[in-house]
């Protein structure tokens, strides 16, 4: 007679160890302009809380060591890698993710230029590239290619070979300057 293998189950009962329940932290932030709160594990990285607690999948987890830039967000006005921030230190802060970057339905000049110039393919690096570009153009209206390459240095793209990204940022700079000066 043959017997059907059964899936082992965790024994439960009086006196047996129980699986510890992870602690809960109420993370309240202003997220993409809206007050939001989520119950998360206090040991989480901010990028994990954004993805798992708030359901925002724009920030990606590439390396979790601060090397690739895929998790980039704006935190209280600073462009940061959210894998290097703990949820508890982000409490009460103002966070913008790539989902909140556009002005309503209108893409920013940087976002539009990335679309027009094929500045991304899979999009995994897009958060980091866009925030780095926005940050650069806020400081430098007419950056050289060297300054553009320097600004995106902390972001890794495995798809485009970077040239299209540099061209997109250069084009966005022109669009922003024209918007400011009326094309004069
Ligand atoms: S996942 Fe944060 S820098 Fe790579
Ligand atoms: S577009 Fe794929 S990693 Fe940059």
156 Cβ closer than 6 Å to some ligand 2 atom? no
- For range 95-107, the mean pLDDT: 95
The structural domains of the chain, with segments of one domain joined by +, span 25-100, 109-178
Q: Are 111 and 104 in contact (CB under 8 A)?
A: no
Dist CA 48 CA 71 (whole Å): 9
Q: How far is the CA of 140 from the centre of ligand 1 (A)?
A: 25
Residue 159 has pLDDT above 50, yes or no: yes
- For range 116-127, the mean pLDDT: 96
Domains 25-100 and 109-178 share a fold: no
pLDDT at 1: 45
Dist CA 76 CA 7 (whole Å): 49
Q: How far is the CA of 133 from the centre of ligand 2 (A)?
A: 15
pLDDT at 9: 53
70 Cβ closer than 6 Å to some ligand 1 atom? yes
Q: Which of 5-14, 27-36, 81-90, 111-120 has the lowest mean pLDDT?
A: 5-14
Given the structure tokens 């119950």, which residue do they identify?
39
Dist CA 69 CA 82 (whole Å): 9
The predicted model scores a pTM of: 0.87
- Spatial CB neighbours of 108, under 8 Å, sequence gap ≥ 6: 101, 102, 134, 172
Residue 99 has pLDDT above 80, yes or no: yes
Q: What CATH topology corresponds to 109-178?
A: DNA polymerase; domain 1 (1.10.150)
The helix, strand and coil proportions of the chain, stated in percent and rounded to the nearest 5, come to 35, 15, 50
Question: pLDDT band for position 2 (50/70/90)?
Answer: very low
Q: How far is the CA of 13 from the centre of ligand 2 (A)?
A: 50
pLDDT at 161: 79
Dist CA 57 CA 97 (whole Å): 9
Question: pLDDT band for position 11 (50/70/90)?
Answer: low
Helix 163-181 to helix 126-139 angle (10° resolution) is 40
Does 3.10.20.30 match the CATH number of domain 25-100? yes
- For range 100-114, the mean pLDDT: 95
157 Cβ closer than 6 Å to some ligand 2 atom? yes
């Amino acid at each position: 007679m043959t017997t059907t293998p059964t899936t082992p189950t965790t024994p439960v009962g009086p006196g047996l160890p129980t699986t510890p329940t992870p602690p809960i932290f109420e993370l309240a932030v202003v997220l993409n302009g809206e007050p939001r709160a989520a119950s998360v594990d206090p040991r989480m990285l901010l990028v994990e809380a954004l993805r798992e607690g708030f359901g925002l999948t724009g920030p990606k987890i590439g390396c979790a060591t601060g090397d690739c830039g895929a998790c980039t967000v704006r935190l209280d006005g600073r462009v940061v890698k959210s894998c290097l921030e703990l949820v508890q230190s982000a409490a009460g802060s103002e966070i913008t993710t790539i989902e909140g970057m556009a002005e309503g339905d209108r893409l920013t000049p940087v976002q539009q230029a990335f679309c027009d110039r094929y500045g991304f393919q899979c999009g995994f690096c897009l958060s980091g590239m866009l925030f780095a570009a926005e940050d650069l153009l806020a400081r430098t209206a007419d950056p050289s290619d060297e300054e553009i390459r320097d600004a995106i240095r902390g972001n890794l793209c495995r798809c485009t070979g970077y040239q299209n990204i540099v061209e997109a940022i250069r084009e966005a700079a022109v669009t922003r300057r024209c918007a400011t000066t009326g094309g004069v």
